[in-house]
């Protein structure tokens, strides 16, 4: 059983201890690359600051932490099977969502345009399943509830590992945090997290599956990226541990550089710095952009995305796997019988655990459903009409989610009725569904009360004590084809902690802090 309450936190420090701890944390972060670029940074950059951090690790129930890690390979297998089911993707994403959501519509139509031309059956997924603790007055124990499943640009794997290393250093340098709490004195309070190494190893496995030692990995990145060090650590990991070179380009740069060999469909990139050198062959395309409409300011970016999709390079993710991560897919999977069909049907491709580690079972289905909370469509179905009634009569219980990644797009609580009213008044083309059908309704997860921590916003030299909410992310890596699994495993964890007053936020804008997990109880 998981605990019903979290321990009193954080432990008390003297003013001198607090200042010393803040100094140690800040200097460790700066000297170990646990950093971000400031807004509007110069090129090349001349200044950085420590990534948002917490002075203490954050307590999390051991049983639920272990459970989240245990089920990650099942989630990996589920979303791989979704990506391979073209008929399902067409029905769900090619329906009303593609008609009312311009971005998802472009993604689905682009994928449909090129999918019969695809020459690379292998797909690489670097996933992250995000959870919150859920505690209600009607239940004595905390539960683990999934917020979302990310199939593209699942970030902070490298910096999360650095956060854990920082907290282990702080414990060592302060005699286990000055001996102020028994929770900080056990080795198990600082679980080893090797998300950087494991995500890097997943990219290396994709490179190996491609089979060309003189090829490279392409990172497709955003202009003005502030979270560049999280990406650079992966680049250095690939080069130093695996001997794999990384090339970084934005969509706008690739529009002028990317070439595909007409015969082999090999993706080739000439060097803008060595015009007489032979172009570099690309084995794996790893997207750290391409997940938001602002990444496609013109038709040129979509043209480039389709060019890359047609190539023989292994995509991380493919367009199909990106579509599988949409909020609408998450909602439909919750409908009766859908999850069972994907995990238990004998007609599905044998994309399970891989390496002969066993098939999927009813127990696996039950474990995933245990992490779900109420999800409804916003269409004219029976479920959709129920959702509309709930959203307009009990809005304080819900969040309205569009098909977007990256945070900052959701509509919460009492803002929902007016938002639905505005969507109903929005202009529609003849035959176009209502705009609300591009959204899903999700029951709000209720994090337990009373947990605090000292948070340090990036670029600031002081900490503030805040009532906090922590979101656990579990990374997964999966390399799979139409009929086989090469690799399926968990790949470390991420804990992001923010002040309870903030519904939305991100690490890069200072609302979330990166923490190591403290799991000494339960």
Please identify which of the residues 401, 435, 436, 489 carries the catalytic annotation: 401
pTM of this structure: 0.95
Write down the residue that tokens 């286990």 correspond to.
176
Q: Would you state the pLDDT for residue 239?
A: 98
Annotated binding site for Mg(2+): which residue ranges?
148, 150, 405
Is 76 annotated in the active site?
no
Is 406 annotated in the active site?
yes
Annotated binding site: which residue ranges?
128, 148, 150, 152-155, 225-227, 231, 288-291, 327, 401-410, 412, 442-445, 471, 496, 498, 504, 507-508
Annotated binding site for ATP: which residue ranges?
148, 327, 401-410, 412, 442-445, 471, 498, 504
DSSP 59-103: E--HHHHHHHHHTHHHHHHHHHHHHH-HHHHHHHIIIIIHHH-HH
Please identify which of the residues 62, 69, 81, 128 carries the catalytic annotation: 128
Q: Would you state the pLDDT for residue 89?
A: 98
Cα separation of the two ends of the chain = 8
Please identify which of the residues 143, 148, 281, 516 carries the catalytic annotation: 148
Distance CA 317, CA 333 (A): 20
Is 213 annotated in the active site?
no
Q: Would you state the pLDDT for residue 354?
A: 55
CA of 353: how far to CAs of 110, 361, 481, in Å? Answer: 30, 11, 13
Query: Residues for the chain: how many in total?
Result: 522
Is 140 annotated in the active site?
no
Is 405 annotated in the active site?
yes
Is 367 annotated in the active site?
no
Please identify which of the residues 95, 105, 110, 406 carries the catalytic annotation: 406
Is 148 annotated in the active site?
yes
Please identify which of the residues 496, 505, 511, 522 carries the catalytic annotation: 496
Segment holding 150, helix H or strand E: strand 143-150
The dihedral sign for the CA sequence 373, 379, 383, 386: positive
Is 425 annotated in the active site?
no
- Asked whether 141 and 475 are in contact (CB, 8 A), the reply is no
Please identify which of the residues 155, 181, 193, 453 carries the catalytic annotation: 155
- Residue 499's SS3 state is strand
Q: What is the pLDDT along the chain (522 residues), one digit of tens a residue?
A: 677 788 899 999 999 999 999 999 999 999 999 999 999 899 999 999 999 999 999 999 999 999 999 999 999 999 999 999 999 999 999 999 999 999 999 999 999 999 999 999 999 999 999 999 999 776 678 999 999 999 999 999 999 999 999 999 999 999 999 999 999 988 888 889 999 999 999 999 999 999 999 999 999 999 999 999 999 999 999 999 999 999 999 999 999 999 999 999 999 999 999 989 999 999 999 999 999 999 999 999 999 999 999 999 999 999 999 999 999 999 999 999 999 999 999 888 777 765 444 578 999 999 999 999 999 999 999 999 999 999 999 999 999 999 988 667 899 999 999 999 999 999 998 889 999 999 999 999 999 998 999 999 988 999 999 999 999 999 999 999 988 899 999 999 999 998 887 665 555 444 578 887 776 555
Please identify which of the residues 62, 327, 436, 457 carries the catalytic annotation: 327
Please identify which of the residues 54, 76, 98, 150 carries the catalytic annotation: 150
- Non-local (6+) Cβ contacts of 139 within 8 A are none
Name the nearest CA neighbour of 196 among 225, 168, 226, 235. 235
Is 150 annotated in the active site?
yes
Annotated binding site for substrate: which residue ranges?
128, 152-155, 225-227, 231, 288-291, 496, 507-508
Domain residue extents for the chain: 15-375+457-518, 376-441
Give domain 376-441's CATH superfamily. Glutathione synthase lid domain (3.30.1490.50)
Q: Would you state the pLDDT for residue 356?
A: 47
């Amino acid at each position: 059983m998981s605990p019903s309450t979290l321990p009193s936190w954080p432990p008390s420090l003297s003013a001198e201890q607090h200042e010393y701890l803040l100094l140690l944390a800040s200097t460790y972060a700066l000297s170990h690359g646990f950093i971000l670029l400031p807004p509007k940074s110069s090129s090349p950059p001349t200044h950085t600051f420590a990534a948002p951090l917490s002075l203490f690790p954050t307590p999390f129930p051991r049983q639920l932490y272990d459970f989240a890690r245990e089920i990650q390979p099942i989630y990996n297998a589920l979303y791989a099977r979704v990506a391979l089911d073209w008929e399902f993707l067409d029905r769900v994403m090619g329906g009303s969502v593609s008609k009312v959501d311009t971005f998802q519509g472009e993604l689905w139509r682009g994928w449909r345009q090129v999918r019969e031309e695809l020459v690379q059956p292998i797909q690489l997924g670097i996933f992250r399943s995000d959870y919150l603790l859920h505690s209600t007055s009607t239940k004595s124990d905390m539960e683990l509830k999934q917020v979302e499943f990310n199939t593209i640009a699942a970030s902070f794997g490298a910096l999360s590992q650095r956060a854990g290393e920082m907290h282990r250093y702080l414990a060592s340098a302060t005699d286990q945090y000055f001996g102020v709490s028994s929770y900080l004195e056990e080795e198990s309070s600082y679980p080893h997290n090797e998300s950087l190494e494991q995500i890097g190893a997943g990219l290396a496995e994709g490179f190996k599956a491609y089979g060309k030692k003189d090829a490279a990995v392409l990172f497709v990145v955003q202009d003005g990226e502030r979270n560049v060090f999280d990406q650079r650590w992966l680049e250095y990991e690939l080069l130093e541990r695996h001997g794999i070179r990384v090339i970084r380009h934005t969509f706008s740069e690739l529009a002028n550089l990317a070439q595909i060999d007409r015969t082999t469909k090999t993706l080739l990139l000439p060097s803008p710095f060595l015009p007489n050198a032979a172009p570099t062959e690309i084995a794996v395309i790893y997207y750290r952009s391409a997940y938001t409409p602002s990444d496609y300011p013109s038709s040129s970016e979509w043209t480039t995305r389709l060019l890359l999709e047609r190539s023989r390079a292994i995509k991380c993710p493919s367009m199909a796997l990106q579509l599988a991560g949409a909020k609408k897919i998450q909602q439909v999977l919750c409908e009766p019988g859908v999850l069972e069909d994907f995990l238990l049907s004998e007609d599905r491709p044998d994309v399970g655990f891989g390496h002969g580690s066993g098939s999927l079972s009813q127990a696996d289905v039950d474990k995933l459903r245990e992490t779900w909370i109420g999800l409804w469509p916003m269409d004219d179905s029976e479920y959709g009409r129920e959702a509309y009634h709930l959203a307009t009569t009990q809005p304080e219980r819900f969040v309205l989610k569009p098909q977007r990644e990256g945070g900052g797009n959701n509509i919460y609580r009492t803002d929902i009725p007016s938002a639905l009213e505005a969507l109903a008044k929005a202009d529609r083309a003849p035959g176009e569904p209502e705009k609300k059908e591009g959204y899903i309704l999700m029951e709000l997860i209720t994090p337990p009360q009373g947990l605090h921590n000292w948070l340090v916003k990036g670029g600031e030299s002081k900490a503030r004590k805040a009532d906090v909410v922590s979101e656990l992310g579990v990374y997964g890596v999966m390399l799979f084809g139409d009929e086989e699994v090469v690799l399926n495993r968990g790949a470390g964890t991420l804990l992001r902690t923010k002040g309870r007053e903030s519904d939305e936020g991100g690490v890069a804008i200072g609302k979330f802090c990166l923490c190591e997990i403290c799991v000494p109880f339960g």
